[in-house]
Amino acid sequence: MSARPVSEGPANVDSGAFERGLSPRNPPGGGIGRGAKPPSEGIWRWGKWAIPLSVVPLLILLAYGFRTDPRAIPSPLVGRPAAPFSLALFDGGRLSLNDLKGKVVVVNFWASWCYPACYEEAPVLEGGWRRYKDRGVVVVGVDIQDTEEAARKFMKQFSISFPNGPDPGGKISVDYGVYGVPETFFIDRTGRIRKKHVGAVTETLFTGEVERLLKEGS
């Protein structure tokens, strides 16, 4: 067997590869020869898409939140003891929720700038208070993110006589998970939240919930 001449070069080599700047160890798309992709190019392309892709879940969550009706979201507070609070009233004195045990309590979160919902429900709440206050029902108004002057003007406009006070630090609102006004909570005689309503309270709703809770305690 004769030895292969050195001048013949490696076996099975594409002679045109040398002319194209490639070698057997430098195939197309790799290595450092002409026509090869730099290693950093693939990383750069991936990095370019990584950041946009990372915000997709957030965009989906925001889209869901914007399209979801808050009234359709059940409150985790329903069925649980109502968070205790002490409210400094506009007409002086304080009101403590703990002092109202044994009564049906309607806690309404409102604001003078809440138009038209708060303006629509104000006569309903005042009328309900006057009809049921002698039957062991207390309506409590919690004014949020408002000025005292505007709140008093609102109360005077609708002749509001049930207990009302501001929540300047927002603690009561946070404890009740309030994220808008109006929101109303119906609390039974044992101090448990039985219903949360988002939006203006209607006379039908008020009467129905109060009568139901009064019958439970009779």
Residues 6+ positions from 77 with CB-CB distance below 8 Å? 176, 177, 185, 193, 196
Is the Cβ–Cβ distance between 139 and 217 less than 8 Å?
A: no
68 or 100: which leads in pLDDT: 100
pTM: 0.69
Give the whole-angstrom CA distance, residue 107 versus residue 78.
Answer: 13
Give the whole-angstrom CA distance, residue 86 versus residue 175.
Answer: 12
- Tens of pLDDT, residue by residue over 194-207, are 999 999 999 999 99
Give the whole-angstrom CA distance, residue 205 versus residue 35.
Answer: 75
Q: Give the pLDDT score at 74.
A: 73
Give the whole-angstrom CA distance, residue 176 versus residue 179.
Answer: 9
Confidence bin at 11 (pLDDT 50/70/90): very low
Is the Cβ–Cβ distance between 122 and 156 less than 8 Å?
A: no
Is the Cβ–Cβ distance between 208 and 131 less than 8 Å?
A: no
In the chain, what are the domains? 14-68 (no CATH), 75-216 (3.40.30.10)
Residue whose structure tokens are 């050195």: 6
Strand ordering across the sheet containing 104-110: 164-166, 137-143, 104-110, 183-187, 193-198
Average pLDDT over residues 169-178: 96
Q: Give the pLDDT score at 30.
A: 46
Q: Give the pLDDT score at 2.
A: 43
**Three-class secondary structure of residue 48 per DSSP:** helix
Average pLDDT over residues 77-85: 97
- Count of residues in the chain: 218
Q: Is the pLDDT of residue 61 over 70?
A: no
How many helices (H) and strands (E) are present in the chain, helices listed first? 7, 7
